[in-house]
Structure 1
Amino acid sequence: MGVEFLGFYNGMLHSNVVPSKSTYSLILRSCASLCATQLGESFHCQILKMGFEFDLILQTGLLDFYAKVGNLRSAKRVFAEMPERDVVANNAMISALSKNGCVEEAQNLFDNMTERNSASWNSMITSYCKLGDIDSARLMFYRNPVKDVISWNAMIDGYCKSNQLMAAHELFIQMGSAKNAVSWNTMISGCVQSEEFGKAIAMFQQMLAGNVKPTEVTMVSLLSACSHLGALDLGEWVHDYITRKNFKVDVVLGNALIDMYCKCGSIEAALDVFHGLSMKNIFCWNSIIVGLGMNGYGEEAINAFNMMEREGIKPDGVTFVGLLSGCSHSGLVSVGRKYFSQMLDIYGIDPGIEHYGCMIDLLGRAGFLKEALELIRTMRMKPNSVVWGSLLRACQIHKDTKLSEQVTQHLLELDPCDGGNYVFLSNLYAVAKSLG
């Protein structure tokens, strides 16, 4: 909604209507949600001028505002100046400290609280999970005498993010009938994060069987699973389900659909989704450019890039991976060279190892092996096995035995335990010997 409330506020003042505490409370919440730091600070001054500096609700609102805009110093100052603090104020301060990584301070405040509610415990569980300290989170969870569905979901999410999927699933089962859509989404997302894509799909089927209504978050996770499995039929079913259930296809869901169709090789369907989006962000543009590129539509990827620029969207490193990959798969060597050189010079993007990998692949496929080797030698970072592997494949294609030997030696230095490199080198020597 933006800052339209300012017009109403100014109207109140011009009509000689004195703003109440409730007015300022609503304004602070709006400033926090909009991250309108300067505006919120100016209303802080107004609150002081109105003589509301000791009102507990407004002080808590200020504390919450400063916490949400990332100004921990001001949040601490407001908290220190509060003449009295209730459980809501303490919870707001614990949340502010936790979000800024000050978990020890949050724990000290929590330990000294005379009254705690579920939000107090949930803030601590969440903060330890975000920190990756799953043992402390588990301790807080089991000590919590007022567990609610948020407590369970926070702990399940913590287990998923620490790659303890089995522990997450056990807790999920223990929830029984307390599960909600968030619980299911957390587990499905956790399966995808742990690359248990089949389990993610099975969880979704159980979710439907349990008459739990899926959300947009469910669909995004499920589409990601389809993308990794190359399960086009299931992906199409999900798309149909989205249409039948009237889900709003925003940039997040739209991007997931584009990515799924591209990874499953259905470019026309991906383009239909892309062009049907009323709003496109950098992720949508990148998905279609990368998708076109990896499916061999190099010229179409370049056209999409040109459209993106005309729309005023600034490219990033992922955009150029798509462009260079498209040039590689379509044999557009001169165009690939141009975009690679323009990355830093025009767009201010420092090429990463993935961009060098794309260029080595492009040059190698086209037979420019010496140029590819020289590019590797001028890299700003140490070449990895992917880079050397790309050049090795090119050597095999173009039957350059001498360079193949050099590249294989580099691969052996990177990974002496890879038996495949020794087998390849042995075969290389055998062929060379037979040729005399």
Structure 2
Amino acid sequence: MPVPSTANLNLNLSLTELCREGLLKEALHILLTLYNAPTNFSIYIQLLQTCISKKALLEGKQIHSHINERNFEFATCKPLQNTLIRMYDKCGSLVDARQVFDQMNERDGFSWNIIISAYQRHGYPHEALTMFHRMQPTGVWPDQFTYPSILKVCAEIRDLEQGMDFHQSILERGFLSDDVVANALVDMYAKCGNIYKAREVFEKIAQKNVVSWTAMISGYVQNGFCDKALETFKQMQSAGVKPNSMTFASVLPACGKIGAFKQGTDIHQIIMERGFFSDVVVTNALIHMYAKCGSIHKARHLFDKMCQKNVVSWTAMIAGYAQNGVLDEALRLFKEMPKRNVISWNAMIAGYAHNGIVAKAMEIFKDMQLAGVKPNSTTFASILPACAKMGVLGQGYTQNGFVEIALEAFKQMLLAGVKPASTTFTSILSACAKMGALGQGAVIHKSIIEEGISSEVEIANALVDMYCKCGSIYRARGLFDQIPQKNVVSWTAMITGYAQNGFSKDALKLFELMKQSRTYPDHVSFACVLLACNHAGLVDEGCKYFNCITDSYCITPTIDHYVCMVDLLGRAGYLEATLNFIIKMPIKPVAVVWTCLLRVCRAHKNISLGVFTATLLFELDSKNPATYVLLSNIYAEVGKWGEVQKVRRLMKDKGIKKIPGCSWIESH
């Protein structure tokens, strides 16, 4: 082995020192202008790592060329090749990374891990899976660095079945004790909709760190279990694990979604104590939370105090005003923005659309195009529901008119060269479903097939829902059976379709199949099952399913579940049992529960319980005309016309007008 010359040693030392100080351009200048070349491949690795830290792709390519031209013997050095792949990956050139990978004569686990991770991070999940499956036949087995990347892929494409296979492989190879692997499993299960399995893995983590807790909290929020997210956040604090910025950014949306203002302010206090008040991501989450909870002034106070606002900050504040109906201030703030981009415009369009001011939403949509800002899929995802909202608010359009407007916006999207995203298709299918526009829905279905995305679970779910709501139950079932990876939304949509179209027994059979498929039902699934039992008068089955909500799945029943049970028991004539059920409710019965009981009292002509129930409703809301009408009709059913007149006079004296659609039973 030749001994390096003094000049080469000095060159190596100079380059090492410059890399240590981050002076890449100076190091590169020396490398490219001197005749001598580094005699140690580790010098090139240091140079490439400096390129990674500075995201310097051009300089990285120059170093790569220098290796090929001046030190060709290093070109086949495995550690150097791995560093080249990593440099190209981190600097954004996946094509070059793959080219270096393909040129390697021999690859180790590090080589495969880098390329799999690169494909995953650059948004090519299927290519990452392909590389994973190519790796094992070469004699290289996955390790604790491979599994986190491949589990992220499963999470991204919502492939629960393959994720469970990887889980089994992790168990067999003994990597579950690795915190990073376990955390990735929690995240995968949560994103694939199996929150119960996510919790099971989470509980088995011996030393839960901040990433573990944050993954679990985020998973609960993503799956709609906001109460559980807040409960887990408290458990995290009790365990002595300190939250980081990602934890706060994950838990605050839970407060916003359920209007948990008190919990939100408590978390705000913790943020102040922990010194995260200057973190832009955390402050943006706080603005969003306060706006969602209706405290727009607190949101604005935080916004005004921010030293550095990014586009998310402005968008959060604008959206907050819009969500709270303060559209003038939203528009004023929008005009003050230092620089508007497509996200800013989308916030304004969505704001007006969500408040039912569809004409203004469409006007801003046109202004956006005139300003030279190209709409994206999110823009159209706001415009299409806006068209549907016209129908809901009855703004003078015929039902077919709404769908035509939505379809016209959809055509504009295609003409603008914007490829429809899944959310765009689901929005327009939702519009068709609301209007019962089966023909137009079928046209959109054809477009989906042409795009080759009919197997995507979100799209398939929307198609099933549309066909169910349009009464085409058999076509819905045909599509449902073709979904390769059904999630809880898929099953629930089909169960709901059966229940709403009078196929109660089919709904219950499908629910049992859902449980057998390892898909865990959520609160919506159970509400649909109880609806099916209600329509078919299946009291025993309904009671069984209601009890297993808590006993088997640890889900806290909602008001919707209680109302279903009150209606089910009441319709069957078990009025005393119905009253006892309401009295024993763990949460305070709200007006809708008592109104349901009042309706069944009318159906069974039970005056005494009807009067008792109406009295309670008057205490809760003495201005609700529906209570007076129902009580009057109960009296009328049994011929007590004097009492009917008393109720009508009481209503008149209080200045309460009968709402349209509530009919009096005429006296004789």
Same fold (TM over 0.5): yes
> Distance between the aligned counterparts of 1:387 and 1:271, measured in 2?
33
> Distance between the aligned counterparts of 2:581 and 2:313, measured in 1?
50
> Distance between the aligned counterparts of 2:425 and 2:511, measured in 1?
28
Letter in 1 for 2:407: Q
Superposed CA RMSD in Å reads 4.0
> Distance between the aligned counterparts of 1:240 and 1:228, measured in 2?
19
Match of 1:377 among 583, 594, 610: 583
Q: Comparing both chains, which one has the higher relative contact order based on Cα–Cα distances under 8 Å and sequence gaps of 6 or more? A: 1
Q: Any idea what SS the aligned residue of 1:176 has?
A: helix
Match of 1:72 among 245, 248, 252: 245
Q: Any idea what SS the aligned residue of 1:381 has?
A: coil
Q: Between 193-202 and 266-275, report the one with greater CA deviation.
A: 193-202
Q: Give TM-score, length-normalised by structure 2.
A: 0.49
Deviation at 1:268, TM superposition (A): 1.1
Matched, 1:129 2:318: yes
> Distance between the aligned counterparts of 2:348 and 2:428, measured in 1?
22
Letter in 1 for 2:519: I
Match of 2:383 among 187, 195, 200: 187
The 1:244–1:105 alpha-carbon spacing in structure 2 relative to 1, beyond 3 Å, is: closer
Letter in 1 for 2:498: L
Deviation at 1:131, TM superposition (A): 4.5
Letter in 2 for 1:375: F
Conservation of the 8 A alpha-carbon contact between 2:605 and 2:634: no
Match of 1:17 among 81, 96, 99: 81
The 1:345–1:73 alpha-carbon spacing in structure 2 relative to 1, beyond 3 Å, is: closer
Matched, 1:101 2:286: yes
Matched, 1:153 2:346: yes
Matched, 1:204 2:406: yes
Match of 1:170 among 360, 363, 371: 363
The 1:105–1:184 alpha-carbon spacing in structure 2 relative to 1, beyond 3 Å, is: closer
Matched, 1:325 2:495: no
The 1:154–1:38 alpha-carbon spacing in structure 2 relative to 1, beyond 3 Å, is: farther
Corresponding residue of 1:314: 520
Deviation digits for residues 77-128 of structure 1, max 9, x if unmatched? xxxxxxxxxxxxxxxx9863555437848974437xxxxxxxx5x3343232
> Distance between the aligned counterparts of 1:319 and 1:277, measured in 2?
18
Letter in 1 for 2:316: S
User: How do 1:272-291 residues align onto structure 2 when only pairs under 5 Å count?
Assistant: 272-291=478-497
Deviation at 1:146, TM superposition (A): 4.5
Corresponding residue of 1:78: none
> Distance between the aligned counterparts of 1:423 and 1:124, measured in 2?
49
> Distance between the aligned counterparts of 1:16 and 1:246, measured in 2?
41
The 1:395–1:95 alpha-carbon spacing in structure 2 relative to 1, beyond 3 Å, is: same
Q: Any idea what SS the aligned residue of 2:361 has?
A: helix
Q: Any idea what SS the aligned residue of 1:383 has?
A: coil
Matched, 1:334 2:334: no
Corresponding residue of 2:4: none
Q: Between 297-306 and 352-361, report the one with greater CA deviation.
A: 297-306
Conservation of the 8 A alpha-carbon contact between 2:433 and 2:467: yes
Matched, 1:110 2:308: yes
Q: Any idea what SS the aligned residue of 1:373 has?
A: helix
The 1:135–1:96 alpha-carbon spacing in structure 2 relative to 1, beyond 3 Å, is: farther
Deviation digits for residues 23-65 of structure 1, max 9, x if unmatched? 44567975697697948x9xxxxxxxxxxxxxxxxxxxxxxxx
Q: Give TM-score, length-normalised by structure 1.
A: 0.72
Letter in 1 for 2:245: L
The 1:25–1:38 alpha-carbon spacing in structure 2 relative to 1, beyond 3 Å, is: farther
Q: Between 337-346 and 409-418, report the one with greater CA deviation.
A: 409-418
Deviation digits for residues 269-294 of structure 1, max 9, x if unmatched? 22111111111111111111222223
Gaps of 5+ in 2: 1-75, 93-113, 124-148, 153-178, 184-213, 219-242, 248-277, 288-298, 644-668
Q: Runs of 4+ in structure 1 displaced over 6 angstroms?
A: 32-37, 67-70, 133-136
> Distance between the aligned counterparts of 2:524 and 2:363, measured in 1?
37
Q: Between 360-369 and 242-251, report the one with greater CA deviation.
A: 242-251
Q: Which of the two has higher C-alpha Rg?
A: 2
Deviation at 1:338, TM superposition (A): 1.0
Match of 1:406 among 605, 612, 618: 612
Deviation at 1:401, TM superposition (A): 2.5
The 1:402–1:277 alpha-carbon spacing in structure 2 relative to 1, beyond 3 Å, is: same
Corresponding residue of 2:661: none
The 1:425–1:160 alpha-carbon spacing in structure 2 relative to 1, beyond 3 Å, is: closer
User: How do 1:228-247 residues align onto structure 2 when only pairs under 5 Å count?
Assistant: 228-247=434-453
Letter in 2 for 1:231: A
Q: Any idea what SS the aligned residue of 2:600 has?
A: helix
Matched, 1:366 2:572: yes
Q: Between 363-372 and 16-25, report the one with greater CA deviation.
A: 16-25
Match of 1:258 among 436, 443, 464: 464
Q: Any idea what SS the aligned residue of 2:286 has?
A: coil
Corresponding residue of 2:165: none
User: How many residue pairs are counted as aligned between the two chains?
Assistant: 373
The 1:423–1:308 alpha-carbon spacing in structure 2 relative to 1, beyond 3 Å, is: closer
> Distance between the aligned counterparts of 1:336 and 1:284, measured in 2?
22
The 1:232–1:14 alpha-carbon spacing in structure 2 relative to 1, beyond 3 Å, is: same
Corresponding residue of 2:502: 296
> Distance between the aligned counterparts of 2:554 and 2:533, measured in 1?
21
> Distance between the aligned counterparts of 1:38 and 1:379, measured in 2?
42
Calculate percent identity across the aligned residue pairs: 32
> Distance between the aligned counterparts of 1:429 and 1:386, measured in 2?
21
